[in-house]
Amino acid sequence: MTKLERVLVVDDEQDIQAIAKLSLERVGGLETLICSSGREAIDKVQVFAPNIILLDVMMPGLDGPATLSILKEKGLVTNIPVVFFTAKVLDKEIEELHSCGAFDVISKPFDPMKLPSILEDIWRRSQ
């Protein structure tokens, strides 16, 4: 089993980008690439080759589910678990997100000190 090393985070909010980067890099020691849009993530995923993708659901332009479906269509995430990242939602919506093909759903707000270990757990389960 390879180690969790690189995380791609897709979120359009600057503050969330900053705190996620800080949390993953400094607390978790993970290499982190932040993309501000689904489009950017689609462009960069192949080169960055993340082990896991954290994808915000609600974004202007391409939203999370639309980004995921393009990623899947282009065969860019065959071996990469994609985790949705979203504000607390109803159980029904979580089910819907799972049915889009997400490996898991993490709810915001999140604790920056714990995010890396949550991702580690998800990553281990995906292997």
Partner 1 sequence: MSNKALDMNLDTEIAQIRAQYLLRLRSDESKLRRLVSDLASRIDKTVIEDIHRILHSIIGSAGTFGLHQASEEAQKADEIVISSFNALEQESKDFSNIHLRTSVIAFCNFLDEMFQNSDLKALSERHPEDLLAPIIDKSEETGSTTEVWLIEEDEELANQLSEHISNFNFHIRTLNLSDALAIANTSGWPPVTMIDLDGGELGRKNNMRLTLTAGDYRPRRLIALSNDDSFEKRAYAAKLRATAFVSKPINIPTLIHHIEKYLESAQASYERVLLVDDDHELRAFLEIMLKSEGIEVKVLTQINEIVDVMNDFRPELILLDMEMPDYSGIDIAVLIRQHPQFESIPIVYLSAEQDLGKQSEALSFDADDFLTKPISKPRLISSIRSRVQRARSLDKLISKDSLTGLLKHGSIKDSGARELQRGRRESYPVSIVMLDIDHFKKVNDTYGHSTGDVVISSLATLLRHRLRQTDLIGRYGGEEFLVILPQTTERSACEIINEVRLAFNEMQFRYQDVQFSCSLSAGCVESSLFADSDLSELIEAADEALYSSKNNGRNRVTARSDLD
Question: What minimum distance in Å lies between the beta carbon of 70 and partner 1?
Answer: 14
How far is it, in rounded angstroms, from Cα 20 to Cα 82?
Answer: 16
Of 103 and 110, CB closest to partner 1: 110
Question: What minimum distance in Å lies between the beta carbon of 18 and partner 1?
Answer: 5
How far is it, in rounded angstroms, from Cα 119 to Cα 53?
Answer: 10
Of 72 and 108, CB closest to partner 1: 108
Of 113 and 125, CB closest to partner 1: 113
Q: Is 47 a binder of partner 1 (CB under 8 A)?
A: yes
Only segment of 70-78, 81-89, 95-103, 118-126 that touches partner 1 (CB under 8 A): 81-89
Assigned token pair, 111: 């604790």
Placement of tokens 């993970």 in the chain: 30
- Applying CB under 8 A, among 88, 91, 99, 127 the residue interacting with partner 1 is 88
Q: Which residues contact 36 (CB under 8 A, 6 or more apart)?
A: 10, 11, 12, 17
Burial letters for 37-59: b for 16+ Cβ neighbours within 10 Å, e otherwise?
Answer: bbebbbeebeebebbbbbbbbeb
Binding residues for partner 1, rule: CB under 8 A, are 13-19, 22, 26-27, 33, 43-44, 46-48, 58, 86-88, 107-112
